[in-house]
Chain A
Amino acid sequence: EVQLVESGGGLVQPGGSLRLSCAASGFIFSSYSMNWVRQAPGKGLEWVSYISSSSSPIYYADSVKGRFTISRDNAKNSLYLQMNSLRDEDTAVYYCARAGGPYWGQGTLVTVSS
């Protein structure tokens, strides 16, 4: 059974940092590109970042460029999102997803608030 399990969310103050993780199982993680996608409360889905199977290329949405860093460890079947200089508008549920489908994680909530 394919599973994508996110962790690392929580409450953080504006300007703070947080590192999200996504543990993959049930498929050959090292063969697939991955995305982070977020959803602010009551809003739609927003793509955040992409990483290829080999970690190059990497792309970011303009809204997070220069503040967020995506990475992966294929030996650990894990995807990461390092989030720095967090803002109120980064508050959202963050999902990892296999690029091109069909798998989504269950999401982890990040709340940026003082």
Chain B
Amino acid sequence: QPVLTQSSSASASLGSSVKLTCTLSSGHSSYIIAWHQQQPGKAPRYLMKLQGGGGYNKGSGVPDRFSGSSSGADRYLTISNLQSEDEADYYCETWDSNTWVFGGGTKLTVL
């Protein structure tokens, strides 16, 4: 089954941009993933589905500041013009024939 690897933490300044990475395990580099945001004390929120070719489909209401891209086994979430409300945990998710997998999550701090 696939494994997703994320850095445990990231930080960036208010108004700047940050690029979060989710890496698929060997043999799974073509997999589609989803990105989810979890603000403190809240339920997760779906952000987008991201394909291996880099195309992505965002959920309703997700700001234009959020975008996705891909390179090989790496899937990226870029947040531009960082706002204070973007401080959250970000999880990637993928699925195989009979299992769903989440990455360990990246805690984003907005300085």
Which residues on A are within 8 Å of B, measured CB to CB? 35, 37, 44-47, 50, 57, 59, 61, 95, 97, 99-107
List of B residues within 8 angstroms of A99 by Cβ: 95, 100
Give Cα distance in the complex from A65 to B105, angstroms: 24
A-B contact count (CB 8 A): 52
Give Cα distance in the complex from A100 to B98, angstroms: 13
A107-B98 contact in complex given A44-B91, A101-B59, A102-B60, C-beta closer than 8 Å: no
Task: Tell me if A105 and B43 are in contact (CB < 8 A).
Answer: yes
- Choice from B49, B98, B99, B102 contacting A44 with Cβ under 8 Å: B102
18 further interface pairs, Cβ-Cβ under 8 Å (given A44-B91, A97-B44, A104-B46)? A44-B104, A45-B36, A45-B102, A46-B102, A47-B99, A47-B100, A47-B101, A50-B98, A59-B99, A95-B43, A95-B44, A99-B95, A101-B34, A101-B59, A102-B46, A102-B60, A104-B44, A105-B43
